Structure 1
Amino acid sequence: MPDDRSSARSVAPPRTAADASARVQFRRALVLLVMTVVVPGSAQIAAGDRRVGRVALRVWLSLVAVAALGLLVALLSRSLFLSLVLDQRILFLGRWILTAVAIAWVVLLLDAWRLGMPLRLPQRRRLAVTAVNGVLCFVVAGSLLFAANVLAAQNHLIGTVFASEEVSDATDGRYNILLLGGDSGSDRDGMRPDSINVASVDAETGRTVIVSLPRNLQRVPFPDGTVMHDQFPDGFISEDEDEGYYLNGISTWANDHAELFGDTADPGLLATTQAVQEITGLTISYHASINMEGFSRLIDAVGGVTVDVKQRTPKSGINERTRGWIEVGEQELSGEEALWYARSRKADNDFARMGRQKCVMNAMLSQLSPQKVLLNVQDIAESSASLLSTDIPASELDQFAGLALEARKNPISTVSIVPPAIDTTDPDFDVVRQLVNDAITIAEGQDAPPSAFETVTAVLPQPERSAEEAAADPTLANDTANLAETC
């Protein structure tokens, strides 16, 4: 016969009224916490101070209405939405509102925990309720404080980098932005621009043409009536006219003779801008000077950039020991690697380097998504402060942000002032301006005669090479109607 005592031990004791009450109280405590997360103030209305709950609920509904209105504006008018989210006053106000909401929400969660009366629960359930409350406080406060930090970083970036107040209008329907890239090392006076490009952007469609000028372009002219024209009426050449100085040397010369420019804050930038306008025939709207070391940090901030490397590229300056190689194929490049890829010319020349720089620009434009910017906004802001100097005013950021989004939808065209179309030691600047005009005309979808580049290269003998060698030529990016396809 079975042991009666053993059977008694195997049967669970009956649930008491106290156990049932504890389970109900445990569920009630959890429900109050969930209510506070979903609808702040609802727990207080149900079980606490109703006045506090009603105030919290009104504030919450107001914030939900503002968010819904913002979403509606984003759907109906992207330009208005961008102007709002890039307004420094709104960013400042939004930061502190989010911070205050985070603190208030945590207080409501702690009060909801109190209303659940966890101290009356058994130890295991009391610890469970406290742990859930802690996690919810961390998630809610962490998310809101992260958002507040995003707004603060964005506000700091705008205030630091886009501090100019002078607005320039589009010329002939295009914004022409001078992009200068170089180093500001201890052995240099200021930043000597080794990369000189003009991004000509259609003010309506965002369709972009990148005009690249080699740093070693010589005998460049200056507009009449400028200081540089008075000093070099026949172009940027030596006094005996035997030697043509390089384009990238204009900045250094002007900064060394700053007294000639009166109160001009940056003579080197002014002189370089005037030279580029005379060379290309384009009116420069704004400039952006890019420190290449900051460029490296920007790429690291967004997690790298993917580039289809066409030729094995050494990590080395022209007279330096090779530190390694960037191999052929689709590569995920770090900031340091992307910088070497964009700057190395040990294995080729300036013109191949110009082509690689364009491919890195195109990769950044196509891969820098709004989601990636949002997740890395603080690192981007910190790197951009050291990366970028520009006279684009904050008031125009919504316009250019919209154009940047449009530019992602269109192919980027490029034209470069390089051989064989142009002899950089003795250039024909009429041909240069025709090259630029043809590229813009074609980009705008208008009929144009064959460009000077195409005309010249068609009659010049081309080196014999295989199809693979031709496709891997980085200089192909210097003259193309679709940079993405070439890169």
Structure 2
Amino acid sequence: MSTGGLLGWLVLAALVPGAAHLRAGWRKTGLVLVSCYAALLLAALGVWLATDLGSLAGSLVDNSAMTAIIAGTAVLAVAWFALIVHSFVVLRPGRLPQGGQILAGTTAGLLAVLVVVPFGVLGNLAWTSQETLNEIFPEAPAEPAGPGSPAVARPVPEDPWAGRERVNILLLGGDADGHRPGVRTDSMNLASVDVRTGNTVLFSLPRNLEDVRFRPGTPMAQRFPDGFRLPPDPGGGRSDLLNSVWEYADAHPELFGGRQHQGPKVLMDTIGYTLGVKVDWYALVNMWGFARLVDAIGGITLTVEKDVVFGKYNEGLVKAGTRKLKGADAMWYARSRTNSDDYTRMRRQRCVLGALLTQADPATVLTRFNKIALATKELIKTDIPRSLLSDLVPLALKVKNAKVSSVQFVPPLISTGYPDWDKIRGITAKAIRDSTDPRPAVAATSSAGPAAEAGAAVTASPTPRKTPKKKATAAENDPVKGLTEGCGGAL
């Protein structure tokens, strides 16, 4: 056998285990290797064809599945390395001329190392994913087993969507830093997802919503029966707006029998009561770490309609135009209130979310996976149970290809100083119905009570202060918009 022939069979053996053994006369060994390899490929193909892509992706994020992948890739890497070495031996390179032996031996060594690389990459992806997910997502919450008994893990049902039409996740942007205590949630969006179709409505609530009402019977409602109202701050600002609910609850554990860190739970319940829905989980994004995530995916391309100024002395500038923004510019485009109001900023935040949703494609995620994982660990805090990810991942894939619309509760639709709570709930209920119903939506809003609109028993809040009636605007007649509508051509 020539040097070229031996190398050719060696490469073929790397692709089809057993090929070199058959060529060398090791028929039984060769047939066993080829048969096992063919069976493995057929089994993988069968699983691929018989399993929904979303379900497959969901099963792969399960903790036990990731552990199996890590162990499996290690075993296969060693096996394939040994296969190349043994294939080289059975082809008897000693019969080649000295120059051919050196070339064949060097090539075989490089090939043996090369075949390990894909398994190493896959194993590293699985390990990094497992570490990241285990760090971000908590275990299933514990609940007491009885007086004097230790807490036990609350079981997650096999099908958490059984009997449910939607999942509601509160997406928050917080700005906690070293300059002040607590967390102010300056970005608050509730994603209501249809579990069957993935159709999603994103409800955006303004940070400066006043006189926030709390669910009757709760400690916050007992403390503020007429709405969230505190004396003005020494500097004239207010600490009783919607974005201060988390911080206030965390700072006053005495309202909750001494229990600490009640901010997330109180804010979830408050926003759920405001919209007339049940909030299932929350995810808090540290806005100061947001730039790292954008940089991790290589930036986002969107259209900046006009120059956005930022910084303590207005020294920063995100120039107008359509281009790829780095993390810092994307963050300030979403956050800056200089020369603009909160409602303009809410629209820009929605545009950034839309850009992330459309541009973080699988290829980008895979090629930049380690950077994204590192940025995500530093960015997100959530109460979504780790064991629920195998069901949430398929749902997220549905959302990626489904209809995503948005409702922003900003003037003139809603007065932030004199909120009409029943109107907010009516608009929420109608947007959810239109998202669920496959028929085209009719552009109209409802002012029915929360129980009638949301199909849930919600205690009516105190009557809002009256404001003069005025002619409905286009925004009030059709408050539901596409996620990137009005984003100036965001890509």
Q: TM-score under structure 1 normalisation?
A: 0.81
Residues 1:119 and 1:447: Cα distance change in structure 2 (over 3 Å): closer
The equivalences for 1:68-467 within 5 A come to: 68-74=45-51, 77-118=52-93, 121-122=96-97, 124-165=99-140, 173-238=165-230, 245-262=240-257, 264=259, 266-314=261-309, 316-317=310-311, 319-323=312-316, 325-444=317-436, 445=439, 448=442, 450-451=444-445, 459=471
CA distance in 2 between counterparts of 1:352 and 1:186 reads 27
Residues 1:240 and 1:72: Cα distance change in structure 2 (over 3 Å): closer
Letter in 1 for 2:481: A
1:31 aligns with 2:8: yes
RMSD value, Cα: 3.2
Larger radius of gyration: 1
Contact 1:222 1:228 in 2 (8 A): yes
Higher helix share: 1
CA distance in 2 between counterparts of 1:263 and 1:111 reads 68
Report Cα offsets for 1:400-435 as digits up to 9, x if no partner: 322322223333221112112222123222222223
CA distance in 2 between counterparts of 1:457 and 1:331 reads 43
Contact 2:412 2:473 in 1 (8 A): no
Residues 1:327 and 1:452: Cα distance change in structure 2 (over 3 Å): farther
Per-residue deviation, 1:436? 2.1
% of aligned pairs identical?
33
Range with greater deviation from structure 2 (276-285 or 401-410)? 401-410
CA distance in 1 between counterparts of 2:226 and 2:36 reads 70
Residues 1:240 and 1:87: Cα distance change in structure 2 (over 3 Å): closer
Letter in 1 for 2:274: I
CA distance in 1 between counterparts of 2:163 and 2:202 reads 16
CA distance in 1 between counterparts of 2:217 and 2:8 reads 78
1:483 aligns with 2:486: no
CA distance in 2 between counterparts of 1:42 and 1:390 reads 51
Range with greater deviation from structure 2 (94-103 or 30-39)? 30-39
Per-residue deviation, 1:81? 1.8
CA distance in 1 between counterparts of 2:269 and 2:162 reads 17
Name the counterpart of 2:148. none
Per-residue deviation, 1:256? 1.1
Per-residue deviation, 1:142? 0.8
CA distance in 2 between counterparts of 1:50 and 1:446 reads 65
CA distance in 2 between counterparts of 1:336 and 1:457 reads 43
Residues 1:62 and 1:391: Cα distance change in structure 2 (over 3 Å): farther
Residues 1:447 and 1:80: Cα distance change in structure 2 (over 3 Å): closer
Residues 1:79 and 1:404: Cα distance change in structure 2 (over 3 Å): closer
Contact 1:197 1:212 in 2 (8 A): yes
Q: Residue 221 of structure 1: SS of its match in structure 2? A: coil
Per-residue deviation, 1:140? 1.5
Per-residue deviation, 1:106? 1.4
Name the counterpart of 1:42. 19
Per-residue deviation, 1:38? 1.7
Report Cα offsets for 1:101-158 as digits up to 9, x if no partner: 1122112212333344546544543443234324423431111110111111222233
Name the counterpart of 2:456. none
CA distance in 2 between counterparts of 1:461 and 1:84 reads 47
Q: Residue 481 of structure 1: SS of its match in structure 2? A: strand
Residues 1:142 and 1:233: Cα distance change in structure 2 (over 3 Å): same
CA distance in 2 between counterparts of 1:169 and 1:228 reads 30
CA distance in 1 between counterparts of 2:176 and 2:88 reads 57
Name the counterpart of 1:65. 42
CA distance in 2 between counterparts of 1:250 and 1:230 reads 15
Residues 1:62 and 1:390: Cα distance change in structure 2 (over 3 Å): farther
Residues 1:409 and 1:28: Cα distance change in structure 2 (over 3 Å): closer
CA distance in 1 between counterparts of 2:8 and 2:391 reads 47
Range with greater deviation from structure 2 (51-60 or 423-432)? 51-60
Contact 1:312 1:327 in 2 (8 A): yes
Range with greater deviation from structure 2 (361-370 or 35-44)? 35-44
Letter in 1 for 2:264: L
Per-residue deviation, 1:197? 0.9
CA distance in 2 between counterparts of 1:64 and 1:359 reads 43
Q: TM-score under structure 2 normalisation?
A: 0.81
Letter in 2 for 1:482: G
Q: Residue 459 of structure 1: SS of its match in structure 2? A: coil
Q: Residue 203 of structure 2: SS of its match in structure 1? A: strand
CA distance in 2 between counterparts of 1:62 and 1:78 reads 22
